Amino acid sequence: MSDVYVVGIDMIRFGRFPDRTVPGLAAEAALLALDDAGLSIRDMQALYCGNLGQANGMVGQRMLAEIGQTGIPVVNVANACATGATAFRDAWMSIKAGMYDTVLAVGVEQMGKGLLGGTGGGPSPEGLVGSYTMPAMFAQIGIEHARQYGTTFEQFAKVSVKNHHHSTLNPKSMYRKETPLEEVMGAEMIAYPNTKLMCSVNVDGSAAAVLMSEAKVRQMGLMDRAVRVRASEMSSNPFAERQMAMPDFSGATRLAAKMAYERAGIGPEDVNLVELHDCFATAELVHYENLGLCADGEAGRLIDDGVTALGGKVPVNVSGGLLSKGHPLGATGIANIYEVATHLRGTAGARQVEGAKIGLTHVVGGGPGMGTACAIHVLEKA
Amino acid sequence: MSEPLLPIIQPNDGKPYVAGSRCTQCGHVYVGPREVCAKCTARDAMEPVHLAETGKVWAWTVVHRSFPGVATPFVDVIVDLDDGAHIKGTLVDVDPQAVSADMPVRMVFREAVPAGADKPYLTYLFVPAQGAAA
Ligand SMILES: [Zn+2]
């Protein structure tokens, strides 16, 4: 079966845009991606649009109303923090299936400030039956790693130091400020061991990609800037022993990673850069092991040794990650793909991972009592 | 006795318990009632149980920032109950610095006013296993 390529991809600089609309933010990214491909909305045969906050609001159709209503099929996608990556994967599948040659995928989110999480209606159990905030849940995932492997508060904090440093090199990042270790560890404690600087930033943002069949890429002569999708895999949470008490993001990630490496015919050692789901500093270390970047129990050593910093063997989150670039839920999955594609094209400027040939993106989301959605993409310079 | 904070809390005429279910095929114990086993997929194999009231701390965190109106700090624990179930709760009557892996804890039932509510509800809490009064 022939491959699918990304021929246009871009994102807006993440930030806070309370005066904009969700379709308006989506439209901006869509036009950027179309321009990057040198194509028009008239060339698109279908649209997959990811958004969580207005999941019942026909965001895709409203976006087309701003950039051109050609009557193409629109699928609006919602899948927790994997929303954007799911839209991308649906676009990929529609081309794989032979339905279309050229498809647009968009991810967009407009977020308020403050803590994410919570339960449904009724009296709130928050504080009386533990905490339903996302920081508390990811704090416990860190503590679980600490009890198994002795991982320290300082090692978790180093993730934030690294990703904030990376973001100073990325003009599309929400924050671009160095945060030394003392500052990260001394910041307001949210839920031990995650301080405020170890929690991802709620921002508004959008990202979009134009995907194309191999035959069409060749016909249109777009191969020199094309990025090949070597694997696109998804999973949900397989049964986990403690799932009634703490959400599990590791089982799904390990499952999708195994499938992605098999599909791409590579191993973790072949990956030159990774954009993974650092919604909290604790999460990044756990995912080093889930993605096979190191053996179980070695994540602390990896961050200590600088293996995952820019210049290291496998740089992780050189964009600044969710921790500093920001985490507009529905846009994050495509923004990660944008980052990796930019390095594979060799156009990442000051943060360029030299000689990058293969990159991996990972998003995983969910919540208390809801389950997990994970998406992993392996990309390669065409 | 006040009404329960969560449906899994059963007042049971003043002798409250947390409802669970046990799979007679694979033995997994769940919090709350259910019909099908998520672990082994067995159907019609669930038996209702009263969850154990003793267990050990698996993971924890000290929550310093929560939703508006919620008093902090508090200790959020994931407890491995002695019957094999796993449940989330708040650990009280403890110095947060003293919480550690595998610390023995005990479930107690108390009345408490949730954040934003104007009346007390019946809830379960965890206390250190030694020297705690219900
Ligand atoms: Zn079972």
**How would residue A366 be classed by pLDDT, with cut points 50, 70 and 90?**
very high
Contact A248, A371 (CB under 8 A): no
* Tokens 């529905």 -> residue: A330
In a domain, B2, yes or no: no
Q: Would you call B59 and A124 a contact, using CB atoms and an 8 Å cutoff?
A: no
Residue of B nearest to A368 (CA): B88
Report the pLDDT averaged over residues B88-109: 97
Query: Which residue in the set A128, A192, A246 is minimally distant from B78, CB to CB?
Result: A246
Closest-CA distance, A365 to chain B, in angstroms, reads 20
B30 touches A at CB < 8 Å = yes
Q: Which fold has domain A4-113+201-381?
A: Peroxisomal Thiolase; Chain A, domain 1 (3.40.47)
Same domain (yes/no): B59, B120: yes
Give the residues across from B49 on adjacent strands: B20
The answer to whether A241 contacts B86, with C-beta atoms less than 8 Å apart, is yes
Question: A60: which strand partners?
Answer: none
- B48 in reach of chain A (CB within 8 A): no
pLDDT at A368: 79
How far does B10 lie from chain A, in Å, by closest CA? 15
Q: Can you give the residue ranges of every domain in chain A?
A: 4-113+201-381
What per-residue confidence (pLDDT) applies to B134? Answer: 46
**What's residue B133's pLDDT?**
47
Return the bridge partners of A280, or none.
Answer: A199
Quote the tokens at residue A135: 């920081």
Answer yes or no: do B42 and B84 share one domain: no
Q: Are residues B30 and B45 in the same domain?
A: yes
Q: Let me know whether B31 and B88 are in one domain.
A: no
* A44-64 pLDDT, tens digit each: 999 999 999 999 999 999 999
Statement: residue A92 has pLDDT above 90: yes
Q: What is this model's ipTM? A: 0.94
Query: Is there a domain that residue B121 lies in?
Result: yes
Question: Is B81 at the interface with chain A, CB within 8 A?
Answer: no
- Has residue B3 been placed in a domain? no
- What is the bridge-based pairing of β-strands A47-50 and A102-109? parallel
B115 and B60 in a single domain? The answer is yes
Q: How many domains in chain B?
A: 2
Same domain, B41 and B101: no
Per-residue pLDDT at B131: 56
Task: For A155-180, give the DSSP string.
Answer: HHHHHHHHHHHHHTT-TT-S------
| Strands, E assignment, A134-267 | 189-191, 194-195, 205-213, 227-236
Structure confidence at residue B36 as a pLDDT band (50, 70, 90): very high
User: CATH number of the domain that B39 lies in?
Assistant: 2.20.28
Tokens in use for B43? Answer: 């159907």
DSSP letter (8 states) at residue A100: -
Dist. CA B41 → ligand 1 center (Å): 6
Tell me, yes or no, whether B59 and B122 share the same domain: yes
Helix (H) or strand (E) holding B86: strand B86-91
Both B63 and B85 in one domain: the answer is: yes
Residues of A recognised as catalytic: 81, 327
A308 Cα to the center of ligand 1, angstroms: 40
Report the separation in Å between the CA atom of A251 and the middle of ligand 1, taken as the mean of its atom positions: 18
Q: What share of chain A is helix, strand, coil (3-state, %, to 5)?
A: 40, 20, 40
Tokens of A211: 């995907």
What is the spatial distance between Cα A301 and Cα A303, in angstroms, rounded to a whole number?
6
Co-location of B46 and B58 in the same domain: no
pLDDT tens digits for A196-255? 999 999 999 999 999 999 999 999 999 999 999 999 999 999 999 999 899 999 999 999
Residues of B in contact with A128 (CB under 8 A): 5, 90, 112, 114, 123, 125
Q: What is the DSSP string of A103-121?
A: EEEEEEE---SS--B---S
- Cα gap A359→A322, rounded to integer Å: 17
Angle at B133 between CA B129 and CA B134, to 5 degrees: 100
- A250 Cα: distance to centroid of ligand 1 (angstroms): 21
Is residue B1 domain-resident? no
Question: Which residue among A115, A128, A139 places its CB closest to the CB of B123?
Answer: A128
CB B76 to CB A188 under 8 A? no
Residue A192 near chain B (CB below 8 Å): yes
Specify if B133 maps to a domain. no
Average pLDDT over residues A66-80: 97
Cα-Cα-Cα-Cα dihedral sign, residues B69, B75, B81, B84: positive
Sign of CA dihedral A265, A269, A274, A276: positive
Residues in chain A with CB shorter than 8 Å from the CB of B77 are 130
C-alpha gyration radius of chain A: 19
- Cβ neighbours of A135 in B, within 8 Å: 63, 65
- Within the 221-240 window of chain A, which residues sit less than 8 Å (CB to CB) from chain B? 239
CB A150 within 8 A of CB B32: no
Determine the structural domain holding residue B101 and report its residue range. Answer: 54-128
**Centre of ligand 1 from the C-alpha of residue A328, in Å:** 38
Residues B46 and B80 occupy one common structural domain: no
